[in-house]
Chain A
């Protein structure tokens, strides 16, 4: 008889357990083998046959060792890998593969089960798809606009520099850079500047290529493209020599302009075009992808729908180079690697201080990263919208979690049977997870499809003032993030049902389900808390949305001081070559107004240096004559206008008189009410005199109402209207009130301009309503999205409330029936049901209102005229949520009150 212990020890690989335990196992196995051997011999087998039987008993010692070891580990995942007779070897050898096969089989079964319940599946997938799709769109927007690097070489080293003049900072907090400072910086900044460029928005008239066309572009210092790290695709950049008056007859154009007006001619370099009646040579064509940074400070709107198209050298005159004023330029500095914007700021300020030592003002430099400057105004609104869409997605996930939970509750019997016949917890969780993942993947795929189809349409509703809109696309990062979001959704949707599944008690469930298939009370309670969560998120969205709506209404209610209906505006820019001086320009504009006054479609026409809300006026001091103080504090806008301007925009006269056509070259002025009260407090302003800066003296002849000329939400400050004829600018805005429709008025204006100067285009023809629309676009965008998300959340929460209440009524059928049978009035039962449903709603509402106020505090700068805890908004949100909640309760409550005793007891 062999030594069986020795036999086992020789064959069994070492087990990772204590030597004592291993010895016990060896002993037990040896005894078993000994019994088998002995039994074989007893039944008449030969020694060899008995030996063969032992071999047959244990064929794979390594597999045995592995299984023993696994069995010795603490019980985590329940029974596994125990097999009965025939299939045993295969299962033992291919455990990981087996697991995969199992998952695939689960997936197949889940798909079949989901297809069998199309309504459930469709609801779930569409809920997720809408959530994920909206998130994908908003994320792409945020990612492309705020997060992805600007399309320049090493964009994080680029800095925008502006200047602050402390002496006037209370009125004009920040300014551009004046030529004098820039020249000093360029010369002296060595350690914290690699190179720098100045630029200023500019308009030009293109003639000689068909219809005259007004173009927008910029005048730039020669280093600009080098600073940005952009090389022209054709031709060259400007040379330093060309940056001087008289030598600057060169232009660099964008790819778009080259295609649009020059037919994409590859031999275009050296060709001469006429800009502002002056022949200029095309020096270069920029790459198709190039776009000038969209900076608000650029003085011409550089919008995606209307980009800048030409660049010419700055070519400052000697007067400009020496001036202490002219803070109009944008400066972009490329910092050396490792230098912070603060260091650059400090060095530039030090240089300025030296330069301005003996001046009356003491400007300093302010530097911020180019990215921050470009995205400044869009940053908060976009993050807010992203936050809102994330909340909406979360509501969708919670809703789906509720749906799935309900579904798995209905499948308790199945889970209980699986448990009873040996499926471990991990097995059940796997089953649930596979199904949730399938749903989430379907939702994610549908959401991405939805997003890619609707991206353009949704972006079309985004305000054109958002920078980089043309760069927005669903790129790889967006896909990765959306994939991650989908997985998180799957996880959220899995957690609850998986927890449910893992706690199935086969005994209880099967016992309970012998009677009915109603969900347990605990499960109903959990669903109620899910409803709380949904209501909280929804209320939060509605509070923020409501506050934005209230802000929007407040903005609309602002007394603008002017009217916009049937008012049209167009810019006119007189080329210096043909209109070299004030007299020539004034002659043209006088003739224009004269011609327009005879146009039948034009009721009234006026000219202005700047249009309301567009805020491009000359900012300078108002110095009341006779006062000793310097007047530095009384800074405001000086707007050159013609007599008809006030009537055209309906600006009401308060005192004195308006300007008349005879005043066009006389030193008289009409001032705003606020200006009158500031300059001559408690006195009559009429007949008083003031100076504009150190220059012209004006006599006040009238006082008009305050108008929001700088923007809806910006205090207009002081405004003086002076006749345009005194020093006529080359660019003025024509404002027309038509009396036969907008297009007739525009046609009339074009006719008059053409008769006076066939080479002169009307630029940026627009209605004043569209100017107002533009000014409100960002607010409208936010309001639209937030209310949409809020409404979607409300709908989902409503479905959630309905679902949980239906389940509850179903679960309490017997109890309710007994109550009714014992004489409880149906109204009591209805109240009972509604009260139970409203508890989680009230809890959620309270949390949501608080969270909404908190979120609104974070976004306080987006509110206008409302406090974050605005009682009206909070009351309205509570009202809406409660009404919807009660509506969702009604049907189940009525059903509860009608419970039939007989059917409930059956």
Chain B
């Protein structure tokens, strides 16, 4: 099984992307909200600081996986919200499958779910 050759960098890159895509898939969100949700849902295990988050968001936007737009509401300062695009949805599905098979493979090898 070749997954042993997967580099931690690929993992980091891929996982970060998937996390963000997964969050904006549910509903449109702004940057601070994304960072907060990641930290909360991972029980503080994963934290996205500004230097990780914004370059990633902008890149996803460039690649057409997410779409950002300014939303103005009376009395509140305007904010930039991000939501997933159809292309982003496809990429996310592919990534989920990839991770799934990776985890299954890891599980078959290391049986970590039952450990």
Interface residues of A (CB under 8 A from B): 24-25, 27-29, 31-33, 35-36, 57-60, 63-64, 67-68, 70-75, 78-85, 87-88, 91-92, 98, 102, 105, 109, 411, 413-414, 416-423, 427, 505-507, 510
Considering only residues 35-81 of chain B, those with a C-beta below 8 Å from chain A are 35, 46-59, 62-63, 77, 79-80
> Are the CB atoms of B12 and A83 closer together than 8 Å?
yes
Return the contact of B59 from the options A79, A91, A421 (Cβ within 8 A): A79
- By beta carbon, the residue of chain A nearest B102 is A417
> Are the CB atoms of B46 and A84 closer together than 8 Å?
yes
> Are the CB atoms of B80 and A28 closer together than 8 Å?
yes
> Are the CB atoms of A75 and B93 closer together than 8 Å?
no
> Are the CB atoms of B94 and A29 closer together than 8 Å?
no
A70–B55 alpha-carbon span in the complex (Å)? 8
> Are the CB atoms of B32 and A422 closer together than 8 Å?
no
Question: Could you say which interface size class chain B belongs to?
Answer: 35 or more
> Are the CB atoms of A31 and B46 closer together than 8 Å?
no
Contacts of A98 in B (CB 8 A): 9
Contacts of B17 in A (CB 8 A): 79, 82, 422
> Are the CB atoms of B2 and A411 closer together than 8 Å?
yes
Contacts of B56 in A (CB 8 A): 71, 79, 82
User: Quick one: which of A24, A59, A67, A105 has the most chain B CB within 10 A?
Assistant: A67
> Are the CB atoms of A28 and B14 closer together than 8 Å?
no
> Are the CB atoms of B51 and A58 closer together than 8 Å?
yes
Contacts of B94 in A (CB 8 A): 419-420, 505-507
Q: How far is the CB of A873 from chain B (nearest CB, A)?
A: 49
14 contacts between A and B (CB under 8 A): A27-B80, A57-B49, A71-B59, A73-B62, A75-B62, A78-B63, A82-B12, A83-B16, A84-B12, A419-B98, A421-B11, A421-B98, A505-B94, A506-B95
Q: Taking A414-B5, A420-B98 as contacts, is the C-beta distance between A68 and B55 under 8 angstroms? A: yes
Return the contact of B5 from the options A31, A36, A109 (Cβ within 8 A): A109
Q: What total count of A-B pairs have CB within 8 Å?
A: 160
Q: How far is the CB of A39 from chain B (nearest CB, A)?
A: 8
> Are the CB atoms of A421 and B51 closer together than 8 Å?
no
Contacts of A60 in B (CB 8 A): 51
> Are the CB atoms of A88 and B11 closer together than 8 Å?
no
Return the contact of B62 from the options A72, A102, A411 (Cβ within 8 A): A72
A72–B2 alpha-carbon span in the complex (Å)? 33
Contacts of B15 in A (CB 8 A): 84, 421-422
Can you list the 4 inter-chain pairs with the closest CB atoms, starting with the nearest? A420-B98, A422-B14, A414-B2, A421-B14
The reply to whether the CB of B27 lies closer than 8 angstroms to some CB of chain A is no
- By beta carbon, the residue of chain B nearest A79 is B13
Q: How far is the CB of A54 from chain B (nearest CB, A)?
A: 10
> Are the CB atoms of A82 and B98 closer together than 8 Å?
no
> Are the CB atoms of A71 and B95 closer together than 8 Å?
no
Q: How far is the CB of B49 from chain A (nearest CB, A)?
A: 5
> Are the CB atoms of B62 and A74 closer together than 8 Å?
yes
User: Quick one: which of A24, A81, A427 has the most chain B CB within 10 A?
Assistant: A81
Interface residues of B, dominant DSSP: helix
> Are the CB atoms of A71 and B50 closer together than 8 Å?
no
Q: How far is the CB of B69 from chain A (nearest CB, A)?
A: 11
> Are the CB atoms of A32 and B58 closer together than 8 Å?
no
The reply to whether the CB of B6 lies closer than 8 angstroms to some CB of chain A is yes
> Are the CB atoms of A32 and B98 closer together than 8 Å?
no
> Are the CB atoms of A82 and B59 closer together than 8 Å?
yes
Contacts of A74 in B (CB 8 A): 62
> Are the CB atoms of B97 and A422 closer together than 8 Å?
no
- By beta carbon, the residue of chain A nearest B57 is A71
> Are the CB atoms of A87 and B12 closer together than 8 Å?
yes
Beyond the given pairs A31-B30, A507-B97, 13 more chain A to chain B contacts, judged by CB atoms under 8 angstroms and listed by A's residue number, are A28-B80, A31-B31, A33-B50, A57-B50, A58-B51, A71-B62, A83-B12, A88-B51, A421-B11, A422-B12, A422-B16, A510-B97, A510-B98
Return the contact of A102 from the options B7, B14, B63 (Cβ within 8 A): B7
> Are the CB atoms of A75 and B50 closer together than 8 Å?
no
> Are the CB atoms of B55 and A510 closer together than 8 Å?
no
Q: How far is the CB of A738 from chain B (nearest CB, A)?
A: 74
- By beta carbon, the residue of chain B nearest A414 is B2
- By beta carbon, the residue of chain B nearest A87 is B12
> Are the CB atoms of A29 and B54 closer together than 8 Å?
yes
Return the contact of A32 from the options B32, B46, B63 (Cβ within 8 A): B32
> Are the CB atoms of A82 and B13 closer together than 8 Å?
yes
Return the contact of B101 from the options A25, A83, A510 (Cβ within 8 A): A510
Contacts of A92 in B (CB 8 A): 51
> Are the CB atoms of A80 and B50 closer together than 8 Å?
no
A25–B61 alpha-carbon span in the complex (Å)? 13
- By beta carbon, the residue of chain A nearest B47 is A85
Contacts of A87 in B (CB 8 A): 8, 12
> Are the CB atoms of B2 and A423 closer together than 8 Å?
no
A68–B57 alpha-carbon span in the complex (Å)? 10
Q: How far is the CB of B59 from chain A (nearest CB, A)?
A: 4
> Are the CB atoms of B10 and A418 closer together than 8 Å?
yes
> Are the CB atoms of A417 and B59 closer together than 8 Å?
no
A420–B101 alpha-carbon span in the complex (Å)? 10
- By beta carbon, the residue of chain A nearest B56 is A82
Return the contact of A58 from the options B8, B49, B55 (Cβ within 8 A): B49
User: Quick one: which of A36, A58, A109, A422 has the most chain B CB within 10 A?
Assistant: A422
